[in-house]
């Protein structure tokens, strides 16, 4: 599967009702972690965020929250934001709208947030409209780390992150088992890079609507 490391602003303007990045004039980066909470992996991420005093946003899968409520609570207690990533990681392009929306609703009973990220970044305009009517911000990204990609080395992911991170970037990472081996290599180095460059890392809010 091909995917662009960085989405150009020219492209994202076509889909301006989704959030692709924050303010380009602010030295702020929005780290996001998808597909948790996952034992050991999320703990690792939380510890490192704490060390750097960075805040992040965790797009949780409802089913994972159900299995690991204690880790979900740790995310909240540490002051990070959470977002809805559906109950069962549904792909809207392969799921009927009513079933999809119901899956978001199920997740919302466990995840108290009006931030929503569609799994695989796949959504359809009408579904997005329905969710916005319910008060959700649809959060996409401008930089994708590639940490989920088994054909890619950690060094390549890291290089991509450093090259493409800029003011207001929303970065996709994963606190999943699949990504863990890479995360352990990527995160310490990347966090150090962000600190060195003077970025502050903040959690997303419902008002990140600056795109």
Residue closer to Zn ion by CB (options 36, 168) is 36
The nearest distance, CB 200 to Zn ion, in angstroms, is 26
The nearest distance, CB 89 to Zn ion, in angstroms, is 6
| 175 contacts Zn ion (rule: CB under 5 A) | no
Closest CA to 121 of 100, 104, 138: 138
Beta-carbon-side half-sphere exposure of residue 33 (alpha carbons within 13 Å): 32
Closest CA to 206 of 142, 132, 144: 132
| 137 contacts Zn ion (rule: CB under 5 A) | no
**Interface size with Zn ion, residues (CB under 5 A):** 3
Residue closer to Zn ion by CB (options 22, 119) is 119
The nearest distance, CB 25 to Zn ion, in angstroms, is 30
Please identify which residue in 18, 19, 34, 190 interacts with Zn ion, judged by CB under 5 A. Answer: 34
| 35 contacts Zn ion (rule: CB under 5 A) | yes
Residue closer to Zn ion by CB (options 119, 146) is 119
Residues lying near Zn ion in the complex (CB under 5 A) = 34-35, 119
């Amino acid at each position: 599967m091909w995917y662009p490391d960085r989405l150009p602003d020219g492209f994202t303007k076509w889909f301006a009702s989704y959030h692709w990045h924050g303010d380009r004039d602010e030295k702020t980066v929005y780290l996001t972690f998808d597909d948790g909470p996952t034992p050991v992996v999320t703990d690792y991420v939380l510890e490192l965020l704490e060390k750097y005093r960075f805040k992040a946003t965790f797009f949780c899968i409802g089913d994972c929250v159900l299995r690991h409520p204690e880790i979900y609570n740790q995310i909240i207690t540490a002051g990070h934001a959470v977002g809805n990533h559906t109950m069962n990681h549904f792909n809207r392009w392969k799921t009927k709208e009513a079933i999809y929306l119901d899956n978001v609703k199920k997740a919302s009973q466990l995840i108290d947030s009006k931030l929503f990220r569609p799994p695989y970044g796949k959504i359809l305009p009408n579904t997005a409209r329905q969710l916005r009517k319910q008060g959700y911000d649809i959060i996409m990204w401008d930089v994708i780390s590639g940490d989920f990609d088994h054909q890619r080395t950690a060094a390549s992911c890291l290089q991509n992150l450093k090259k493409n991170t800029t003011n207001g970037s929303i970065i996709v990472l994963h606190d999943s088992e699949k990504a863990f081996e890479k995360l352990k290599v990527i995160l310490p180095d990347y966090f150090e890079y962000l600190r060195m460059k003077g970025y502050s890392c903040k959690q997303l809010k419902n008002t990140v609507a600056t795109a």
